[in-house]
Structure 1
Amino acid sequence: MDSLTQIVLGAAVGEAVLGKKVGNKAMVFGAIAGTIPDLDIIARYFTDTVTAIEVHRGFSHSIFFAIFFAPVFGWLVYTLLPKKEATWREWSWLFFWGLFTHPILDAFTTWGTQLFWPFDTRLAFQNIFVIDPLYTFPFLVFLVLTLFQKRTSEKRRKFNRLGLIVSSCYLGITLILKGISYKKFTEALDKEQIKYSKIDTRPAPFNSILWQANIVTEDAYLMANYSFFDSKPISFESYPKNHELLGSLKNNDKVQRLIKIAEGWYVISKQNNQLYFNDLRFGLMSLDPKEKDFAFKYQLTNAQGDLEILETPRSVADAKNLLSALWSRIWGN
């Protein structure tokens, strides 16, 4: 999830663990704990693109990381704070839950997380987008209400519990919505007698009303949108796989790793004699049926046998156009 959401979750968890004993400091250090796992993004400044992608949501998002580093961070806080309001064990417990709930929440997103690192398993339930105001905003409101209550107040604990309960219930609702949308997509495929081997569904950006599907057929991928306000049948757009365009590059180690990261959901495109690897899991840059650019697109440059992979930057204008189109599409086709 986005940084703000993880800060809110960490602060709420910190309050639940130690708020009654140390007051607002529990929120502060809970928020810090909720932020720490995402510091793995600094890898992009020291490694190549593929390695940086592999590192993100890896070791720092694992149970192992939470268990090992919680006592370390707990000891640091206990040692540095002059007023010993809580024990080292209590501060360690706060950091454990702050570090552990971060990847748990990330596991519900499209990108997922390697919760069981070093085992090579990425959990991705894909029922919530990485930024979802319906999850974050109510949670934030309850946290602010909690912040202005006295540490011994029953209202303080009540508001914090409500924030945790409401946000968790919303996660549960999105799982139900995912199941319903999955049924709608498969029914539409059966109705059109489309043969497919795999289907993958996820919410569109910033909401849980509009859902998107990727479908594997023999020669192409199909993509479709479904809103709970739709009144017309679901339509499918076809995108050729073009995997053959990779040629000998398909056996390249970096390309193989990128294919693994994309979990096999990729198409290859060629523009101006330049090859691009497109990750289908995060959708297109717009909702235009003729759109060919994907949100996550990587340029493959093979210079003198040394393959360089660079992520194609996304513009602010593209984001604004997508937001406008999403708002319109959410309300039905």
Structure 2
Amino acid sequence: MDPLTHGVVGAMAAYSVSSEKNRKPAVVAGAGAALIADVETFIHLPSDPLFNLEVHRQFTHALVFIPVGALIAAALFWWVLRRHLTFRDLYLYSLAGYATHWFMDVITSYGTELFWPFVDTRFAWNLVSVVDPVFSAGLILFTALAIGLNKKWLIYVAWAWMAIILAVGWMQNNRAEGAMTQTAAERGHFIERSVVKPTIGNQVLWRTTYISGDSVFTDGVRTGYFSGITVFPGEGEPLVFIEDEFSEFQGRTLYSDLQRFERLSEAYLIRHPDKPDVIGDARYSMLPTSLIPLWGVETDTTNTDTHLPFLYFRDSGEEIRTRFSGMLFGRDLPE
């Protein structure tokens, strides 16, 4: 989830458990604590580009780390808020704010290691986009009114707004999944694994990606609230199997990095259509119908003992924007 929404929800949580006299400093503590979990964003190893991906939404987002993260946040904010709060109260509000972070990330689509260090499975509920203006605007509005008017019931309205948007996301996700299942059946495909994700900023246009046999397929699905469901046929590409295609490099850094990227990508690996040396994550693209990956690693079989470069392929040009908005608003209908 984006930082602004994280901060607002952290403020909502702290406000909800605060006493009337402590509400404003509680909001500061809760918002700040909710943001601290993303400190891992700044952890980099220049020599190992995949390291940052591995720690992203990892230990600072794990459930077992919540009390520790809250304590760190309380210690940092103590110097600012010690005249307004006891350390006990500050820790309570920091705990409330920090404890929201994992939830706000798991409702999005990247995946969060909730049970680190016991398992490295990433959980993603795929209910809202990482950035969703409608979702965030409602939370910001009701929280601002609650703070400005000192009306606690408005915070409960903000929580209700969140629940409604998540319920809508669950419904829309299921509708898109149903369309994906029907489309695959019409193609004669048996779905072995699949993932359904909202596209950026909305709960109307979805990206469905499934594996059938040794190939991966993606489609766009528009789940209009009043206009029914429209499927935008996408692309299919053969999967890349690291164990088969790169077996001769076992024991080398190249092979190890490919295995790490395979785990991070949940084995949805393809070659970039225009860059055959790039192995990309098929789950993400600028368009829901495209298998041009948003990111990938570049392989160099002549240099197998160096960590693989991690590359981004974000094309937000006019053509991409026009095609995306056409699908989102139902202007581009499939033939």
Alignment TM-score, normalising by the size of structure 1: 0.87
How large is the RMSD of aligned CA atoms in angstroms?
A: 2.5
Q: After alignment, is 187-196 or 69-78 more displaced?
A: 69-78
8 Å contact from structure 2 (residues 223, 230) kept in 1: no
Amino acid corresponding to residue 195 of structure 1 in structure 2: F
1:248 paired residue number:
248
Aligned length: 322
Stretches of structure 1 that go unaligned for 5 or more consecutive residues are none
- Which residue is equivalent to 2:53? 53
Residue 78 of structure 1: CA displacement? 4.3
1:112 match: secondary structure: coil
In structure 2, the CA distance between the partners of 1:87 and 1:47, relative to structure 1 (3 Å rule), is farther
The answer as to whether partners of 1:224 and 1:234 remain within 8 angstroms in 2 is yes
- 2:180 corresponds in structure 1 to 185
Q: Which amino acid aligns with 2:135?
A: Y
Percentage identity across paired residues of the two chains: 20
Rounded to whole Å, the distance in 2 between the matches of 1:127 and 1:239 is 26
**2:250 and 2:137 mapped to 1: Cα distance?**
44
AA of the residue aligned to 1:52: N
Flag the 1:231–1:30 CA change in 2: closer, same or farther, 3 A: closer
Structure 1: distance between partners of 2:81 and 2:232: 58
Question: Match for residue 37 of structure 2?
Answer: 37
**1:88 aligns to 2:106 (yes or no):** no
Going from structure 1 to structure 2, the CA distance change for 1:247 and 1:12 (only over 3 Å counts) comes to same
Q: Measure the CA separation in 2 of the matches of 1:259 and 1:58.
A: 17
Which whole-Å deviations, capped at 9, do the CAs of 1:202-255 have from their partners, x for residues lacking one?
A: 111111111111111223111111102466555242112244554535771111
Instruction: Decide which moves more: 73-82 or 85-94.
Output: 73-82
**Distance in structure 2 (CA, Å) of the matches to 1:246 and 1:4:** 42
Q: Structure 1 residues 107, 293: CA separation in 2 closer, same or farther (over 3 Å shift)?
A: same
Q: Which segments of structure 1 move beyond 3 Å, counting only runs of 4 or more?
A: 75-82, 229-234, 242-251, 269-272, 301-304, 319-324
User: Residue 279 of structure 1 corresponds to which residue in structure 2?
Assistant: 281
For residue 297 of structure 2, give the secondary structure of its aligned residue in structure 1: strand
1:232–1:134: structure 2 CA closer, same or farther, 3 Å change rule? Answer: closer
Q: Is the 8 A contact 1:250 1:256 kept in 2?
A: no
Structure 1 pair 270–327 and aligned structure 2 pair: CA distance change class (3 A): closer
1:301 and 1:307 in contact (8 A); partners too: no
Query: How far has the Cα of 1:118 moved from its partner?
Result: 0.7
Pairing 1:87-236 to 2, within 5 Å after superposition: 87-120=86-119, 121-149=121-149, 153=150, 156-229=151-224, 235-236=233-234
Normalized against structure 2, the TM-score is what?
Answer: 0.86
Q: Which residue of 2 aligns with 1:306?
A: 305
Checking the alignment, whether the CA contact within 8 Å between 1:72 and 1:92 is kept in structure 2 is no
TM-superposed CA distance for 1:19, in Å, is 6.0
